[in-house]
Structure 1
Amino acid sequence: MAEVTDDSFYDRADAHITLSNEQLKTVENLGKVSASMMFGTTRFNAWISARGFKSGEEMGLAREAMLNYFCEQYRMMLEDNLDDHINNFSQYMGAPEA
């Protein structure tokens, strides 16, 4: 993840989280907001990826490599954040430790 991390990395991520938190004020189902955020992320990543190719055919040849890259990155980031929430559950969720 170091290659994409710069001084504003977490500020940009926090801006997306802030938007999702705002949406939670008007949408009762947390999963709907999460699904929208994931769709937006995948749509943006597909567009960013497409910019590096000269044709759809060329992009199609790299499809599996792109899927592997993005799935691997998502899994690593999700694992880090799940571990963070497990280790800091009381602090983040305002619940006493069992």
Structure 2
Amino acid sequence: MTQATDQAFYDRADAHIDLANQQIEQREDLGKVSASMTFAASRFNAWMSARTFKSGPEMAAARDELVKYFCEQYRMMLEDNLDEHIEHFDRYMLGKEG
């Protein structure tokens, strides 16, 4: 990631991943867990964004900018994580050190 992050950032992310892993262990479909996690992130970000505005029309005026920002952030994080999993595929997916 290009932004400086502290350990608490990763700890919070890991807590969400741990919950998703628990749901998968309870025989929930992997795709459904992923969809729920994505929905939760988008819902939280919409709520968090709404807190910074005084009215619906004010928020509506910033809608496109908000969508662009969150899509760019998601894309950057997804690309970083995909690259990491490609680089370390054998270790992450096959349990091989190397």
**Does the CA-based 8 Å contact 1:85-1:92 persist in structure 2?**
yes
Report what 2:92 is aligned to. Answer: 92
**Does the CA-based 8 Å contact 1:53-1:59 persist in structure 2?**
yes
Distance 2:15 2:29 in 1: 21
Report what 1:40 is aligned to. Answer: 40
Report what 2:30 is aligned to. Answer: 30
Following TM superposition, by how much is the alpha carbon of 1:95 offset from its aligned partner in structure 2, in angstroms? Answer: 6.1
The two structures have a TM-score, normalised by structure 2, of 0.91
**Segment drifting more, 87-96 vs 39-48:** 87-96
Following TM superposition, by how much is the alpha carbon of 1:29 offset from its aligned partner in structure 2, in angstroms? Answer: 1.6
Report what 1:9 is aligned to. Answer: 9
Asked which structure has the greater RCO (Cα within 8 Å, sep 6+), the reply is 2
Runs (5+) with no aligned partner, structure 1 = none
SS at match of 1:85: helix
Percent identity between matched residues is 63
Distance 1:35 1:49 in 2: 21
Matched residue count: 95
Superposed CA deviations along residues 2-41 of structure 1, whole A, max 9, x for unmatched, are 26x2330000000000000000012342100000000000
The two structures have a TM-score, normalised by structure 1, of 0.91
Large movers: runs of 4+ above 2 Å: none
